[in-house]
Amino acid sequence: MKFSKETLYDKLNETPIMPLFNHPEIEKSKAVVKACYDGGIRVFEYTNRGAGADKVFAALVKYIRSDFPDMAIGIGTIYNAEEAEYFVSLDADFIVQPTLDAGVAQVCQKNDIAWFPGVLTPNEIYKAYLLGADIVKIFPANILNPSFIKSVRTVMPQVEMMITGGVEPNEESLNTWLDAGAKFVGMGGQLFPKAILESNNFTWIENTVKESLRILSNR
């Protein structure tokens, strides 16, 4: 089943970490999905990077719908409406961008799925809000001070923010961003270090996800 925006937001509110993952091997990608699910994740982003990413994504959609039907899967690194339409046809539950594009917003609205545009400035955040974004992806957050988030939230409290880029799965990093006013975090390389993937240490991924969600649940 495809999840509506409202259902997806409910899932994020319950487990406010969105993993961002890409790997060319389908079986390894499935193992990562399972580790994240077992750790408590219910919203998973596969990024559209590299040749064949669509084939891996389609395989993950089939796997998740079969084995983890309460998990939502979306596609990231989408730049234009044509790409968005294609991945909607592959049953994406949501679309994530590194940038802000009105055409992608329209595709998501037409299909009643969540849209997470990548923004960095107050101007971009407000434009995204006007185009229908309920949650914006602040990217790359590692070049910002958390006080920036606090300041923007003061003048635009109606826009929820997902911090992506440089967030680490530890108490200091997670609490710093959420104390500043972020509602969600996106994590890629910090959840999936190269050495961990190469050694197939999926238990490490599961435990790191569990600990990160524990930190957020204790706030």
Q: How many Cα neighbours within 13 Å face the side chain of 176?
A: 15
Number of structural domains (the chain) is 1
What average pLDDT score do residues 150-179 get?
95
pLDDT confidence tier of residue 1, bands split at 50, 70 and 90: low
* Residues of the domain holding 110: 5-217
Chain segment 82-104, per-residue pLDDT in tens: 999 999 999 999 999 999 999 99
Residue from 151, 154, 144 nearest 163 by CA = 144
> Does the pLDDT at position 109 exceed 90?
yes
CATH for 117: 3.20.20.70
Measure the CA–CA gap between 119 and 141, rounded to whole angstroms: 10
> Does the pLDDT at position 146 exceed 90?
yes
> Does the pLDDT at position 159 exceed 90?
yes
* pLDDT of res. 218: 86
Chain segment 38-87, per-residue pLDDT in tens: 999 999 999 999 999 999 999 999 999 999 999 999 999 999 999 999 99
Contacts 24+ apart (CB under 8 A), 91-94: 91/2, 91/61, 91/65, 92/57, 92/61, 93/2, 93/3, 93/8, 94/3, 94/5, 94/8, 94/43, 94/45
> Does the pLDDT at position 11 exceed 90?
yes
